[in-house]
Amino acid sequence: MENSTVTKEFSLLGFSNSEKYNILLFVVFLFIYCVGMFWNLIITMLIYMDPHLHTPMYYFICNLSFVDISYTTVTLPKLMAILMTGDYSISFTQCFIQLYFFEFLGGTETLLLSAMAYDRYVAICFPLQYQLIMNKTKCVSIFVGIWASSCGNAICMACFMSTLSFCHSNKLQQYFCDIKPISELSCADIRIYIAVCMETFILGLCPFLLILISYKKIISCILHIKSVEGRKKAFFTCTSHLTVVLIFYGTVLWLYTQPPLKPSEEIDQVFSVLYTAVTPMLNPLIYSLRNKEIRNALTRLVNPK
């Protein structure tokens, strides 16, 4: 059957059942957005300005902060506009532009977290060769590969999703345009399930397996360190990244492995907020509060004497 679009716009009904709390929700999301923007900008500025932080690990953190800034900017301003105006509609074009950027940034974050795990593996297991292995050329190649592959995937998925027929409804049970709620509105088409499975495998499962393999090797290396203090120091360098990975993949696995059942929709929205708003706000706090070098860089910035 030939695909044809039967709707000009979608309705984002993520918080439509909480209209009496719209003002409160607006204030909460505005706070989350401002705090996340502030801390991520601070992290980015510190890494850019402080020569002590010009190392591969902090370049990865800088990229992650930029992704987190973009994540919240793609989803939260539209949600806050809905809460203030009560207009739940989003045009077909705007929806798929939002989907593109969300896919782009989501893919970038999964690949970045995987690359950061590899960076920690090299730093702990091959400390003397670290600068040689993670040289500038290799880091640039990694970053270009991550951003280019995520961009290509997002273009393919957004273009593919925009060609589907939407014959069930135009009401998305979410507060932003994402593949899962959009696919639930489309006419039965096996292609969409194949595409989603392929993307999940390539940009979800494969990076996660690389993270697990890296940490398996890291743990093995740490256990061979004779000094207790050395083992603690080595493990401590991984705790921030490991915390971010657990939060990120925990929310993603809940969102994208649950069947489309009505009772789970409200819970899905809670995990969506954690995934797209709270986690980007917490990431810089996790890295800054647990990282002595970033705290020292912040001190040098505030008090340069």
Asked whether the predicted pLDDT for residue 114 surpasses 70, the reply is yes
- Beta bridge partners, 91, equal 9
Closest listed residue to residue 76, CA positions, set 267, 251, 276: 276
Mean pLDDT (the chain) is: 85
HSE-CB at 129 with a 13 A cutoff on CA atoms is: 5
pLDDT at 5 over 50: no
- Residue 98: pLDDT band by 50, 70, 90 thresholds? very high
pLDDT at 1: 40
Does the pLDDT at position 205 exceed 70?
yes
243 pLDDT more than 70: yes
Quick one: CA torsion of 173, 207, 274, 170, rounded to 10 degrees? -10
Distance between CA atoms of 280 and 305, rounded to whole angstroms? 32
Higher pLDDT, 290 or 238: 238
| Residue carrying structure tokens 């590969």 | 145
N-terminal to C-terminal alpha carbon distance within the chain: 71
Q: What is the pLDDT of residues 62-91, one digit of tens each?
A: 999 999 999 899 999 999 999 898 888 899
pLDDT value for 74? 93
Which pLDDT score, from 0 to 100, does residue 305 have?
62
Instruction: Quickly state the pLDDT bin for 4 (edges 50, 70, 90).
Output: very low
Q: For the segment 136-164, what is each residue's pLDDT rounded down to a tens digit?
A: 899 999 999 999 999 999 999 999 888 88
Neighbouring residues of 29: CB distance < 8 A, sequence distance ≥ 6? 76, 79, 80, 83, 277
> What single DSSP character describes residue 16?
G
Instruction: Name the token pair of 112.
Output: 């970045």
What CA–CA distance (Å, rounded) separates 120 from 131?
A: 12
In the block, residue with structure tokens 């987190």: 68
C-alpha–C-alpha distance, residues 295 and 299, integer Å: 6
Q: What is the pLDDT of residue 290?
A: 67
Residues 6+ apart with CB under 8 A from 254: 267, 268, 271
Residue 199: what pLDDT? 80
